């Protein structure tokens, strides 16, 4: 009998601490952090080979990665948007329209490119670049090109220059590298 009473007490205590089925307290409602509202996104024109800028990813297993410089933009909501092209050693090409949120290290795919040059919208949400499944190609874009030191680039020209130069100056440090001492 005593064991039964203890079990019932434990169950009622656990039930009292659980969520109240969608009812939030005043404090919870007032202190809930709202996700920033995101601008509606329409994919840009499909990339052309003349505007692709290659960037290096260590241990890419022969894959080559490119950003279409013509699609690089920084929106009012602080999201850096771009088209990413990944080419396999066998010649297969994957095209995605993506975004990075520098403020929290998030990455999202907005659309997938089709072989006929059209887009298929993605229903995927934001993913953290600090998660274990983060792709090195995205981490490199975040750290070395689009969000150096966690801050977004100011405009597309700054991002294109960073891609062409092999990295953003702030990703390399505040001082200019000494010749022969620091190489990327």
What are the tens digits of pLDDT across the range 22-34? 566 776 666 555 5
Dump pLDDT digits (tens) for 67-118: 999 999 999 888 999 999 999 999 999 999 999 999 999 999 999 999 999 9
179 found inside a domain: no
Residue 156 · residue 73 · CB < 8 Å: yes
Question: What's the total number of domains in the chain?
Answer: 1
11 found inside a domain: no
pLDDT at 2 over 60: no
Q: Which domain holds residue 119?
A: 49-170
What is residue 131's DSSP assignment? S
34 found inside a domain: no
175 found inside a domain: no
Q: What pLDDT score was predicted for residue 59? A: 82
136 found inside a domain: yes
8 found inside a domain: no
Q: What pLDDT score was predicted for residue 7? A: 45
CATH of the domain at 91: 2.40.128
Q: What pLDDT score was predicted for residue 64? A: 96
95 found inside a domain: yes
What's phi and psi for 10, nearest 5 deg?
Answer: -65, -40
135 found inside a domain: yes
CA distance to 84, 124, 175, 177, per residue, from 99 (Å): 10, 12, 29, 30
| Residue 111: strand pairing partners | 97, 121
């Amino acid at each position: 009998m005593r064991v039964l009473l203890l079990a019932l007490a434990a169950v009622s205590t656990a039930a009292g601490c659980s969520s109240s089925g969608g009812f939030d307290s005043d404090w919870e409602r007032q202190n809930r952090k709202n996700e920033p509202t995101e601008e509606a996104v329409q994919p840009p024109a499909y990339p052309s080979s003349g505007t692709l800028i290659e960037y290096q990813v260590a241990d890419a297993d022969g894959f080559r990665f490119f950003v279409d410089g013509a699609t690089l933009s920084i929106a009012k909501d602080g999201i850096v948007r771009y088209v990413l092209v990944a080419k396999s050693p066998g010649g297969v090409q994957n095209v995605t329209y993506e975004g990075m949120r520098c403020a929290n290290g998030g990455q999202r795919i907005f659309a997938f490119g089709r072989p006929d040059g059209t887009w298929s919208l993605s229903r995927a949400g934001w993913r953290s670049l600090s998660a274990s499944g983060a792709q090195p190609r995205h981490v490199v874009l975040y750290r070395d090109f689009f969000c150096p030191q966690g801050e977004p680039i100011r405009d597309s020209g700054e991002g294109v220059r960073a891609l062409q130069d092999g990295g953003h100056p702030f990703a390399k440090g505040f001082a200019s590298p000494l010749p022969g001492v620091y190489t990327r």
